[in-house]
Amino acid sequence: MQLLQMPKLEQPEVLRLKNIWKTYHGGHPAVKGISFTIRRGECLGLVGESGSGKSTLARCLLTLERIDKGEIWLNGRPLHELTTSQLRQARREMQVVFQNPSGSFNSKLTIMDSLLEPIRCQNKGCPSFLDSLSTSEWEIASKLLEKVHLPASYLARYPSELSGGQKQRAAIARAISVEPSLIVLDEPTASLDVSIQARVLNLLKDLQEELGLSYLFISHDLSAVHFMSELLMVMQQGEMVDVCKGKELFASNRHSYTKQLLELFDGD
């Protein structure tokens, strides 16, 4: 008997960028006609040397930077057409984890208050993935910390009392707290000790699998991008010069710039 082969269902699109252009006042274009799609549960890696336009592209899609041309669709909504107040609402569906965890915390707030800031701002309750009926803020915050393998005792601490890696874990807990459609990871491990970097990447990967998160992972580090991402994009001077899936990165027909990055990767 022949078994019927069911086609694998594609996950819904979370983010679609179409032909994005951005030039800063009086400069050369920093982003030149970039298009890509991120689906639910996917990690798209964006790699390129300093100045290639990665952060500009991220700021454009987060609508923190006005684009000159192009379209940004988030969960089917055209962000490029929304009014300022509609945009404020739509931005809540995206969270960012930055390179420097110290800069992402208010030094005067305890970890608990920092952690709960997005939930309070958005008038949200307990995230559905915490599997808790409790509305106690302490319980929500402690369970969030548990998700990133930090003890609840850290809730009363101030950011200066945590190491860089612990702060980045707390920043990740805060980012997932409002169940965003997309998390932009902008060099999330670049400021951490090498020994801690792998642990944070593993945590991000585990959370992605467990919660079905969608990531845009930005890095200089091709090995980190390769580890994290199903699909990998290479930017050079504002352009997308190469796109490939996992193992295709090592194929002989890669763009010459990707090969240059690979040489650095091999030399690590």
Ligand X SMILES: Nc1ncnc2c1ncn2[C@@H]1O[C@H](COP(=O)(O)OP(=O)(O)OP(=O)(O)O)[C@@H](O)[C@H]1O
CB of 203 to ligand X, least distance (A): 23
| Exposed/middle/buried for residue 236 (C-beta within 10 Å: 0-12, 13-18, 19+) | buried
CB of 191 to ligand X, least distance (A): 13
Within 10 angstroms of residue 50's Cβ, the number of other Cβ atoms is 7
C-beta closer to ligand X: residue 52 or 114: 52
CB of 252 to ligand X, least distance (A): 27
Residues contributing to the site for ligand X (CB under 6 A)? 24, 27, 30, 48, 50-56, 220
C-beta closer to ligand X: residue 27 or 151: 27
Alpha carbons 46 and 186: distance in angstroms, whole number: 9
CB of 205 to ligand X, least distance (A): 22
C-beta closer to ligand X: residue 49 or 179: 49
C-beta closer to ligand X: residue 67 or 115: 67
C-beta closer to ligand X: residue 45 or 53: 53
CB of 33 to ligand X, least distance (A): 15
Give, in order, the Cα–Cα distances in Å from 81 to each of 18, 73, 214: 13, 10, 23
